[in-house]
């Protein structure tokens, strides 16, 4: 389990059990951990949740100015999270489009290959029949020539 996920879980548990100071401590630990995620979505999401929790705790403790500051950070990360999701969705759509395009192109090339193979078979058979016809005609010609002589 990554540290910030662990810290966020602990912060939520402490908040739910009525221990706001411990919840604040672990929420701030979430914010102090760096981006250890390969997935930026999880990073933004955890930071957004931590700021939201800090805003709630601070508002309950009677500091609305600091709560508002935390909520602004929360909204900033929410915006970043939404943007990251949009970028990820666009990447997925682009990858899907490219995959479908490549598959369509592969099918088209397979069809061309099958047509070329069919043409080669027909051409080979035609050459074979023509060779057989010419050979037969040559044999008949030589046999007639032999019979006349």
- Whole-structure pTM over 0.85, yes or no? no
What letters, b where the CB count within 10 A reaches 16 and e where it falls short, cover 105-126?
eeeeeeeeeeeeeeeeeeeeee
pLDDT truncated to tens, each residue of the chain (149 aa)?
Answer: 477 888 999 999 999 999 999 999 999 998 888 766 567 778 888 889 999 999 999 999 999 999 999 999 999 988 988 988 898 899 999 999 999 999 999 999 999 999 999 999 999 999 999 999 999 999 999 999 889 87
């Amino acid at each position: 389990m990554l540290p910030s996920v662990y810290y966020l879980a602990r912060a939520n548990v402490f908040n739910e059990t009525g221990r706001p100071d411990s919840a604040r401590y672990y929420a701030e630990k979430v914010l102090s951990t760096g981006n250890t995620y390969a997935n930026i979505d999880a990073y933004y999401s955890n930071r957004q949740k931590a700021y939201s929790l800090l805003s709630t705790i601070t508002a309950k403790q009677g500091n609305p100015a600091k709560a508002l500051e935390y909520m602004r950070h929360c909204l900033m990360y929410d915006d970043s999270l939404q943007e990251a999701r949009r970028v990820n969705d666009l990447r997925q759509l682009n990858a899907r489009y490219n995959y479908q395009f490549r598959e369509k192109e592969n099918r088209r090339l397979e069809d061309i290959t099958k047509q070329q193979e069919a043409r080669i078979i027909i051409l080979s058979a035609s050459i074979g029949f023509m060779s057989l016809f010419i050979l037969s005609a040559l044999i008949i010609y030589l046999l007639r020539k032999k019979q006349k002589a």
